[in-house]
Structures are given as structure tokens and as C-alpha cells.
Amino acid sequence: MKVDVAGNVYCGGRAESTFSTQGKKLGRIVHGRLRPPNHRFGGDDWKTLYYTNWNYVGAVKVKIAGVPVRWRRRVSAGATLSW
């Protein structure tokens, strides 16, 4: 699940279902793929919803920006990173 800045929730499956903060179904984004295991907001304005399954990456523009997620890699003390 992912959340946009308005508090709406996006749930994956055969289609992305969107629910309001009150639990009302707002709509569906039909992408035609079997159960995408992952989805994430991105793009310069956080208004692109990316979804994946084992052999496909797709994207759709949405009207409300997603909550930005910043990745931080955790490294134990004294560890060496090689990219």
C-alpha cells in the first residue's frame, strides 16, 4: 500500500484501488497485470505511480502527489561498501 499527500490509500492487485481517508472507494487504476508485488510514487513531482511484477515495470500519472520516501542505507560500523 502507498499513501498520497491527501491521505488516500493505494492498494495493489489486478488493479490499483484507491480509498479515501474515510474508507470510501475513490476509483481503480486498471493496468492489466497480474498482482504487481510492488508499487511506489516517484517522478519530479511525485505524481507518477510505478508498479511492477516479475517481468514488467509500468507507470501511470496521478492527480495527487504521493508521500515522498527517502531511502537511507544502513551500514554497520566499520563496514566497507562496494557498488
Burial of 17 (0-12, 13-18, 19+ CB in 10 A): middle
Cell output for 68: 515522498
Cell output for 41: 510514487
Tell me the pLDDT tens digit for each residue of 59-78: 989 999 999 877 666 666 66
Tell me the pLDDT tens digit for each residue of 39-54: 889 999 999 998 887 7
All structural domains of the chain with their residue ranges: 2-61
Look up the pTM and report it.
Answer: 0.72
Instruction: For residues 26 and 23, give the distance between their C-alpha atoms in angstroms, rounded to a whole number.
Output: 9
